[in-house]
């Protein structure tokens, strides 16, 4: 099979971790006789520095022509620390989501056995946690009308949603629940917000098409508390843009490392896959960034292309790296393995899944079979 994949390395550690995800994809291509054609494009601070635009038109064209997009990270301190900056890296990502119609963000949250003791939450609370969070991505307050009074004393941000915007992601979330434990939780603030009342009314109506799925509701403040008290109660969470941004970041602490959290942003015709950890400028160029979230993003990309066996092999490689403690220092402070070595191990395991000890020895002495 032949696929066109757009790669946007982005800012900070983005290029480093994306390079490791590409190693995994190359190993999958060799193992399963696929052909991946990669086209690189710019977005974020690097694009501003090169073109003055956080999202050049060429990048949109590359993404539109691809079967899937692998993205690294976005952001730079020189923009983060300047409240007066008119052009910001994040504007590029927001515009790309809107341009490609990437209305649905999917974020898996899983408590890996090997990392449970690293979580700030107690083992008995999080063991067995496996959540899929569906966040609406192109509507709500992030894209509403913004206003600042002339005297700078009053500001407002508008929030609006339509039944159509709610319905299209709700159907995806219900279908995901059907393939899992058949439970969906809508997170809203329907006791206060009119948009939340529309969400609740619309989702309740759609639920009639999915009688096998149990639907319940939580106000966002209670949901934030329940995510800490008893995350195992959740299966699929569905919510709007702002609430999803907060809830999904809160959930990221469950697994013990933000370096293992991948995400997908999906539309009707396009899909983008990225780690959630951000650009982490403090680690840039030091070969210490954890590439596993980017590699798991590549696994989500493969699943999107209906390459399910291939995705499972990538996920098994990640689990093996955790099992053997072949990780970067954020997971194991005593680790001698850098970003590129972990990427090499993953690729070697994909090529030789029946001989993990050989993989370990090859990488340890710098003899990766990947060229």
Of 81-85, 86-90, 183-187, 335-339, the one with minimum mean pLDDT is 81-85
Percent of the chain topping pLDDT 90: 84
| 151 in a labelled binding site | no
Decide if pLDDT at 366 tops 70.
no
pLDDT in tens, 85-104: 889 999 999 899 989 999 99
According to DSSP H, which parts of the chain are helical? 14-32, 45-51, 57-64, 77-80, 89-100, 123-126, 163-178, 194-206, 220-229, 241-251, 292-304, 308-323, 339-351, 356-364
**Number of C-beta neighbours around residue 162 at 10 A:** 12
Q: Is 216 exposed, middle or buried (0-12, 13-18, 19+ CB in 10 A)?
A: exposed
Which residues are part of the catalytic machinery?
142, 189, 221, 245, 249
| 180 in a labelled binding site | no
Distance CA 271, CA 281 (A): 26
What global pTM score does this model have? 0.88
Q: Supply 306's token pair.
A: 């209906």
Q: What share of the chain is helix, strand, coil (3-state, %, to 5)?
A: 50, 20, 35
- Residue 238 and residue 134 in contact, taking contact as beta carbons nearer than 8 Å: yes
pLDDT in tens, 221-274: 999 999 999 999 999 999 999 999 999 989 988 987 788 899 999 999 999 999
SS3 at position 107: strand
| 125 in a labelled binding site | no
**Residue range 50-74: average pLDDT?**
97
| 221 in a labelled binding site | yes
């Amino acid at each position: 099979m032949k696929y066109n994949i757009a790669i946007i390395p982005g800012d900070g550690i983005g290029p480093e971790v994306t390079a490791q995800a590409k190693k995994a994809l190359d190993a999958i291509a060799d193992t399963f006789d696929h052909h991946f054609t990669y086209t690189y494009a710019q977005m974020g601070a690097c694009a501003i520095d090169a073109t003055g635009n956080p999202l050049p038109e060429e990048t949109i064209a590359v993404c539109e022509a691809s079967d899937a997009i692998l993205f690294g990270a976005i952001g730079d301190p020189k923009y983060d620390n300047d409240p007066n900056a008119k052009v910001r890296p994040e504007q590029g990502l927001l515009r790309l989501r809107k341009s490609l119609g990437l209305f649905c963000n999917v974020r898996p949250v899983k408590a890996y056995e090997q990392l449970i003791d690293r979580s700030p939450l107690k083992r008995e609370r999080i063991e067995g946690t496996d959540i899929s969070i569906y966040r609406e991505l192109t509507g709500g307050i992030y894209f509403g009308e913004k206003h600042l009074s002339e005297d700078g004393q009053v500001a407002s941000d508008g929030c609006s949603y339509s039944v159509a915007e709610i319905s299209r992601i709700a159907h995806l979330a219900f279908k995901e629940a059907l393939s899992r434990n058949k439970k969906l939780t809508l997170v809203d603030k329907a006791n206060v917000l009119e948009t939340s009342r529309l969400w609740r009314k619309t989702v309740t109506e759609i639920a009639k098409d999915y009688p096998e799925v149990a639907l319940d509701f939580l106000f966002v403040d209670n949901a934030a508390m329940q995510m800490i008290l008893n995350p195992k109660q959740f299966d699929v969470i569905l919510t709007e843009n702002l609430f999803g941004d907060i809830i999904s970041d809160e959930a990221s602490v469950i697994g013990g490392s933000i370096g293992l959290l991948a995400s997908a942003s999906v539309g009707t015709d396009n899909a983008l896959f990225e780690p959630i950890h951000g650009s982490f400028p403090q680690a840039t160029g030091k070969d210490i960034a954890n590439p596993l979230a980017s590699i798991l993003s590549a696994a989500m990309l493969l699943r999107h292309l209906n390459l399910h066996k291939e995705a499972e092999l990538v996920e098994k490689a990640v689990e093996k790296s955790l099992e053997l403690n072949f990780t970067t220092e954020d997971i194991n402070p005593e680790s001698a393995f850098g970003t590129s070595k972990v990427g090499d191990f993953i690729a070697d395991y994909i090529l030789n899944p029946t001989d993990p000890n050989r993989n370990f020895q090859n990488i340890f002495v710098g003899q990766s079979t990947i060229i």
